[in-house]
């Protein structure tokens, strides 16, 4: 049985069948529609460039009992999933309930962006001259601001930290991106105090008139429904899984945005909200659910399309102890994090080949020549010593 009908849920079903599991399969999915892709919700769908992001699946061949618009509500005892339509028995279970946007207290009139319906509703309001205030200059804030400016909206972004993306990246990196936001007003170091339907009030006393307010201050694993069960949750509520993606409850696995895995590679528990993780982790969970002993310890990968640029990130930069910059005359640049002579993370702007090669170097743990890494004329793969 699989709970959660997003990318990780669908991939779990595909992987179970792909590994030859021929028994009964049930999907319990809170959303009414079939699994769809989320990255376009703040990009192509929001911009009106695509209408449908449904993920491809041959449901007839998969032979899955799909319970859509149904919620899992708990795990009362081993082998039983409680749902809003009653208890369901399982032999093995994959939790793939994703994450939900963090809301600001007192900001009920503000919108968030997680679902297809959220994206379409926001799109309808991004008219020329519309005043959009975005709380949070993170990844989603940046992508929505890009689409909104292009749609002719007047965009103001309020960020509590000292630079865009500062909750995910060092301030020095976000500060390099700030000029990209030229057509949006970015107010840094500002805290939202209250949100009304037509205004955002800052703690400084300033008020920003608004037709639409988007709160984009991050997401939290959607796991509160597991309270009281044998499934242990860790930091920020993410389900704690071992290196084989099994939870503390035997036969119960967790994948995607809702899970945090033990990583020998980074000697820490990893929790990411990355599409690539939702795509690949289910293969490991499915193999182990069927009796395998696979391990999951990837170099994480993430991308963002903002302000006409492709920003890509791989690795885990807190593991690094210094940053090497590489840039060319056309403002395509990269930051590489090293720990000793090992590459542990890379962020690239419009340098996809560098990112790909850097990720391979991280996977191979090859020692790196930092001076070569700084030279944009040298292929990243040629920096291994
Ligand atoms: P989800 O996609 O959240 O799916 C979980 C599903 O479980 C949901 O349908 C939910 O309704 C359902 N559910 C929750 N609780 C229950 C319950 N109790 N019972 C039943 N069902 C339940 N990543 C990138 O790497 N690059 C990007 O550019 C990028 N852009 C993004 C843009 C947006 C707007 C968003 C929202 C995310 C973006 N991401 C991006 C992140 C990426 O989409 C996620 O990492 C991925 O969707 C996670 O998949 P998931 O299946 O784990 O969770």
* Domains located in the chain, CATH noted: 2-101+219-289 (3.50.50.60), 116-215 (3.50.50.60), 308-383 (3.30.390.30)
Q: Is 115 in the pocket of ligand 1 (CB under 6 A)?
A: no
Is residue 347 pLDDT above 90, yes or no? yes
Residue nearest to atom 4 of ligand 1 (CA): 6
- Closest Cα to residue 301, out of 278, 285, 318? 278
CA atoms within 13 A on the CB side of 62: 19
Tokens standing for residue 207: 């008020």
Tokens standing for residue 23: 């028994």
- Distances 35 to 29, 112, 275 between C-alpha atoms, Å: 9, 19, 13
- Bridge partners, residue 246, by sequence: 253
Is residue 179 pLDDT above 90, yes or no? yes
- Distances 18 to 91, 127, 246, 284, 381 between C-alpha atoms, Å: 18, 45, 19, 12, 34
Residue 296: count other Cβ atoms within 10 Å of its Cβ: 24
Q: Is 6 in the pocket of ligand 1 (CB under 6 A)?
A: yes
Atom index in ligand 1 nearest the CA of residue 97 equals 7
Atom index in ligand 1 nearest the CA of residue 71 equals 19
DSSP string, 296-331: -----EEEEEETTEEEEEEE-GGG-SEEEEEE-TTS
257 C-alpha to ligand 1 centroid (Å): 7
% pLDDT > 90, the chain: 97
Q: CA 44, 48, 52: angle at the middle one, nearest 5?
A: 70
User: What is the distance between the alpha carbons of residues 60 and 43, in angstroms, rounded to a whole number?
Assistant: 31
Indicate the average pLDDT of the chain.
97
381 C-alpha to ligand 1 centroid (Å): 33
Q: What pLDDT does 279 receive?
A: 98
Q: Is 257 in the pocket of ligand 1 (CB under 6 A)?
A: yes
Atom index in ligand 1 nearest the CA of residue 101 equals 36
Is residue 184 pLDDT above 90, yes or no? yes
- Exposure string of 23-39, with b = 16+ CB inside 10 Å and e = fewer, is eebbbbbbbeebbbbbb
- Provide Rg for the chain, Cα atoms: 22
Question: Is the pTM of the predicted complex or chain greater than 0.95?
Answer: yes
189 C-alpha to ligand 1 centroid (Å): 29
Atom index in ligand 1 nearest the CA of residue 257 equals 52
160 DSSP assignment: S
Question: Could you read off the pLDDT of 49-92 as tens digits, one per residue?
Answer: 999 999 999 999 999 999 999 999 999 999 999 999 999 999 99
């Amino acid at each position: 049985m699989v709970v959660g009908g997003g990318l990780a849920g669908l991939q779990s079903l595909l992987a179970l069948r792909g590994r030859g599991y021929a028994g009964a399969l049930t999907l319990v999915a809170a959303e009414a529609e079939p699994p769809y892709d989320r990255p376009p919700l703040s990009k192509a769908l929001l911009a009106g460039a695509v209408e449908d992001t449904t993920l491809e699946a041959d449901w007839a061949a998969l032979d899955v009992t799909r319970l859509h618009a149904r919620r899992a509500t708990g795990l009362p005892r081993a082998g039983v999933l409680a749902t809003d339509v009653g208890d369901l028995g399982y032999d093995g279970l994959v939790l793939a309930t994703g994450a939900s946007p963090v809301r600001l207290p007192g900001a009920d009139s503000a919108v968030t962006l997680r679902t297809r319906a959220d994206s379409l509703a926001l799109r309808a309001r991004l008219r020329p001259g519309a005043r959009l205030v975005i709380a949070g200059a993170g990844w989603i804030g940046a992508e929505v601001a890009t689409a909104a400016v292009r749609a002719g909206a007047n965009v103001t972004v309020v960020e509590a930290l000292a630079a865009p993306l500062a909750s995910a990246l060092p301030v020095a990196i976000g500060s390099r991106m700030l000029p990209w936001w030229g057509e949006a007003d970015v107010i840094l170091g500002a805290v939202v105090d209250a949100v009304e339907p037509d205004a955002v009030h800052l703690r400084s006393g300033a008020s920003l008139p608004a037709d639409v307010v988007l709160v984009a201050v991050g997401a939290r694993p959607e796991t509160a429904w597991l309270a009281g069960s044998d499934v242990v949750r860790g930091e920020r509520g993410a389900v704690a899984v071992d290196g084989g993606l099994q939870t503390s409850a035997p036969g119960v696995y967790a994948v995607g945005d809702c899970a945090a895995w033990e990583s020998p590679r980074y000697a820490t528990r990893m929790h990411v909200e990355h599409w690539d993780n939702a795509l690949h982790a289910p293969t490991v969970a499915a193999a182990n659910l069927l009796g395998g002993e696979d391990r999951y310890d990837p170099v994480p990968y993430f991308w963002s399309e903002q302000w006409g640029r492709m920003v890509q990130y791989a690795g885990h930069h807190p593991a690094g102890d210094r940053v090497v910059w590489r840039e060319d005359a056309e403002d395509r640049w990269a930051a590489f994090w090293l720990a000793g002579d090992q590459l542990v993370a890379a962020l690239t702007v419009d340098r996809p080949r560098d990112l790909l090669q850097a990720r391979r170097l991280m996977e191979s743990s090859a020692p790196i020549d930092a001076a070569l890494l700084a030279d944009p004329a040298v292929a990243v793969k040629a920096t291994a010593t």
